[in-house]
Amino acid sequence: MPVKAKILIAEEDENLQEVLRGLFRSLNHRVKASSDAAEICSLLEREGWDAFFCDTRLWDSSRCEHDLLQLALSRQPRVPVVMTAHYTEIVLAQSAMSRGAFAWLPKPLKAMDALHVLERILCEAPSPAAEAVAADFPDAVKGTGSTDQAMPAVERHFEVLIGEHERMQELYTQIEKVSATAVTVLLRGDSGTGKELAAQAIHNSSARSDKPFVAVNCAALPEQLLESELFGHVKGAFTGAVRNKDGLFVAAQGGTLFLDEIGSIPVQMQLTLLRALQEREIRPVGGVSMIPVDVRVIAATNEDLEERLRSGLFREDLFYRLSVFPITLPRLAERRTDVLLLAQHFLGEWSQSDGIAPARLTDDAADALSKYSWPGNVRELQNALRRAYTLVAGENRPISLRELPDEIRRAAMNRPQDSKEQGGVPIPARSAGMTLKAYLRACERQFVQVVLDECQGDKDAAAKKLGVSLATFYRKYGGQ
């Protein structure tokens, strides 16, 4: 089979280099890849290329003395340049597009995305390579196997988590440490803080990353169905059990089982779960034989498990078995500097999916998002932006204050009157679907933050002012 195209790859991560090189070579393309900017410059000077994939980190002038994009555009102006970037680098990617880049791809890369952009390049390029690829591209895609699966993520596999705040950096460090072990993890945090994403990040960074990640919301199923879902059942175990069924422990064999809302599991069933964790074997409902399982369990809760423990609603032995390595996820209000970063991520993702220019925010809208208390955390931000994006999509105008939900606009307008000038505590706006319990928790945290501000960040003084011990302060509020 003749060589179809010459592809140059400038990629800082050597693992991703190998993945791209193997993917393109499997389609009989000639590929050169390097993380050395000087070597890439030399290759651009010496040889002609049909496509150039360039990591923004190797183009960023603050990190690299060579302007690879400028060199490519000046030396080989007809060669399409594809930038690869994390969503945290979206500004760089947009800048590259404005300077003449053909496209940009988000990391972690997906094989299908890379193949589709290459198809566009070669089918639009006036070269023999175009005809060869256009002729058999569908067959080529079929031959790559699981091309819709994400490629190995670069760095620490945390791309599912977005944030640069120091609280997120602490979270990344904890994930990195626990991923190297097989211990049980308990993720704690309010609804919408991203506990399932954190669980996925732990799984993706662990030695089990090539095995299944299985998630279940324990609060969404009644007791008998939950037990059958987790452990499976044998035929005839109960009415409707017409055949044997494997449970999620078996489905997650070798991988990770994520148990969300663990606090909702009935006390009677907690003992069964405890035995499964201790003995590493399960018995299907109605079964006799034990089935060995090799599963890493990550549990999550937005409840005060210690209070449930004191109330007799949660077993102490299961609590300690689950919380070998507890991790508390920060609320969005604790990392306000990440709000616009998350907004860029969501808007960029939706815009790229729709094939349009990245949606933007007006200054007023960005300011309102940054100042809102976000009692529903990242999920509330995502929902608010999704609605706003839908309203402006295709109109070629930025998202303004009027596209944002009423509670965010009201908070933006009323904030000066809510502040210390009035001697009161800012009251968080209630988001749609928010329960009374969740709203009261948001009010409590808002009050704690005001006290902490009054104490100039002194947590010991804040705890005394609140009338709680320092240990309780950290346990309930994560140190704010």
Work out whether strand 291-292 and strand 281-282 pair parallel, antiparallel, or are unpaired.
antiparallel
- Residue pair 23/1 in contact (Cβ under 8 Å)? The answer is no
Is 60 exceeded by the pLDDT of residue 158?
Answer: no
Using alpha carbons, list the distances in angstroms from residue 450 to 322, 331, 356: 33, 15, 42
Cis peptide before 108 (omega within 30 of 0): yes
- Residue pair 269/227 in contact (Cβ under 8 Å)? The answer is yes
Mean pLDDT of 172-176: 90
Token pair 């009338």 is found at 467
Lowest-pLDDT range, 76-90, 190-204, 324-338?
76-90
Q: What are the phi and psi torsion angles at 4 (to 5°)? A: -90, -45
What's CA 320's distance to the chain center, in Å?
Answer: 28
One-letter amino acid at 325 equals: F
Q: Which tokens hold the place of 230? A: 């987790």
pTM of the model: 0.57
* pLDDT band, very low/low/confident/very high, at 382 (cuts 50, 70, 90): very high
What would the pLDDT profile of 134-156 be if each residue is shown by its tens digit? 444 444 443 333 333 444 433 34
Token pair 């499964």 is found at 276
* Cα separation, 55 vs 140, whole angstroms: 25
Q: What is the pLDDT of residue 303?
A: 92
- DSSP state at residue 17: H
Percent of the chain scoring above 70 in pLDDT: 84
Percent of the chain scoring above 90 in pLDDT: 37
What 3-state class would DSSP assign to 270? helix
343: nearest Cα among 321, 364, 365: 365
* Cα separation, 330 vs 472, whole angstroms: 17
One-letter amino acid at 45 equals: E
Mean pLDDT of 70-99: 82
Q: What is the pLDDT of residue 447?
A: 82
* pLDDT band, very low/low/confident/very high, at 250 (cuts 50, 70, 90): very high
Mean pLDDT of the chain: 82
One-letter amino acid at 475 equals: R
What would the pLDDT profile of 97-127 be if each residue is shown by its tens digit? 778 888 888 777 777 778 878 888 887 654 4
What would the pLDDT profile of 189-245 be if each residue is shown by its tens digit? 999 999 999 999 999 989 999 999 999 999 888 877 898 899 998 888 787 777 888
What would the pLDDT profile of 424-443 be if each residue is shown by its tens digit? 555 565 555 567 777 777 77
* Cα separation, 388 vs 408, whole angstroms: 12
- In 281-340, DSSP assigns E strands to 281-282, 291-292, 296-301, 325-328
Q: What is the pLDDT of residue 154?
A: 34
